[in-house]
Amino acid sequence: MLVGSQPRRVAVIGGVRIPFARAHGAYAEVGNQEMLTASLSAVVERFKLRGERLGDVIAGAVTKHSSQWNLARESLLDSGLAPETPGLDLQRACGTSIEAAILIGNKIALGQIDAGLAGGVDTISDAPAVYSREYQQLLLRSFRGRTFGERIKPWFGLRPRHFKPSFPGTGEPRTGMSMGQHAEQMARSWRIGRGEQDELALASHRNASKAWAEGFMSDLVVPYLGLKSDNNVRGDTSLEKLAKLKPSFAADGTLTAGNSTPMTDGSAAVLLASEDWARARGLPVQAWLTYGKVAAVDFVGGEGLLMAPAYAVPRMLADAGIRLQDFDFYEIHEAFAAQVLCTLKAWESPEFCRDRLGLVAPLGSIDRAKLNVKGSSVAVGHPFAATGARIVATLAKLLSQRCTGRGLISVCTAGGMGVTAIMER
């Protein structure tokens, strides 16, 4: 499988996305394919890739219609790339597009391809409405009928209940609990208070608002359907305003609409390449994707649903031979403010690090001033499969502006999984 004798370095050239929008708003009348095409097209335009045949495009969505089984390929066909460019659909819940970036990176490192796009998209506004299995089986029995009588007979069993639609939810099939309810359990287990969560949420909004005001987002986001910026960012919020919000997942809980991610529509994409491919086209390398790791936890057996990054990161640090403190930026996806705080507290815990991670000492604390410096999902929004690509593009630009440094990416996902990565400059 290896084309060369040595793995090649994986360059992150840069990424572009459309503004993230609160569900049932600006993007209420478009779907995954239109939004993903918009972000892929923006990358094509920014890096002058029109007519180029790339090695692969890997992208996906968490919530999509069955007709979108070939979403990546169909989207790239309208992006301006050469139609000979292959496309692959991928889905690892909220870690979809960071996993896509790692897979594209692996192909580049192995010499299988020279360049590729990784991306993700999700819409709550265009969620598929499906009907009960009982109704589906009725339709199939009718379809299989060979005579008119056999085709019509199943319809005599049609009942009003068959027309009640079912929409996708965020509940875990094995527990019946929503992600927010699981996060509420984690907050209680780790003793994360409401005040801590609101403070982290406030920092996310302020950092995101400042990033927009200073122009940091100007080349990372392209206008789409009249929207020019992420419409969930609240630069004018305050601890007092956040404190007035009621708990969202338990009457006596600490998670609210203010310290949790909103339901969001959006898409993002990022270009990765070999060093030679980038040099031949005069494209500056913003950063290098150097490590990736995925982990899972037994959330049914008692571990917190969103705690997998707490396991993946130390394993990745061992691969890299570095410490948790050896980073200039920490991009930790804010599924909920509580999730970030639980993860940080786990790394600081001697008991967790000894008993769960097998370490002789805790990983320790991070410098909070380096955490999500341009805001993260609580403020910006979280179109599930798009978040990883947003983070990769943001971190690549941060490292490029700094001209040196190292950044950690940590994304928790549904199903008790976590995807992590390291980027360097």
Q: What angle do CA 155, 159, 164 make, to 5 degrees?
A: 120
- Report how far residue 389's alpha carbon sits from residue 72's, in angstroms, rounded to the nearest whole number: 14
- Report how far residue 205's alpha carbon sits from residue 323's, in angstroms, rounded to the nearest whole number: 29
**Treating both helix axes as pointing N-terminal to C-terminal, what angle do 337-348 and 308-320 enclose, rounded to 10 degrees?**
50
**Treating both helix axes as pointing N-terminal to C-terminal, what angle do 194-213 and 337-348 enclose, rounded to 10 degrees?**
110
CA 308 to chain centroid, in Å, comes to: 15
Cβ neighbours of 130 (radius 10 Å): 14
Catalytic choice (205, 342, 353, 412) = 412
Catalytic choice (65, 94, 162, 353) = 94
Tell me, yes or no, if 382 is annotated catalytic.
yes
Q: Which residues contact 345 (CB under 8 A, 6 or more apart)?
A: 190, 192
- Report how far residue 11's alpha carbon sits from residue 396's, in angstroms, rounded to the nearest whole number: 10
Is the CB of residue 412 less than 8 Å from the CB of residue 99?
Answer: no
Cβ neighbours of 135 (radius 10 Å): 17
Is the CB of residue 90 less than 8 Å from the CB of residue 103?
Answer: yes
- For residue 111, give both structure tokens: 């010499």
Residue 97: HSE in the Cβ half-sphere, 13 Å Cα cutoff: 36
Tell me, yes or no, if 403 is annotated catalytic.
no
Reported residue count of the chain is 425
Catalytic choice (182, 205, 333, 382) = 382
- For residue 88, give both structure tokens: 């692959």
Q: Which residues contact 351 (CB under 8 A, 6 or more apart)?
A: none
Active site residues: 94, 382, 412
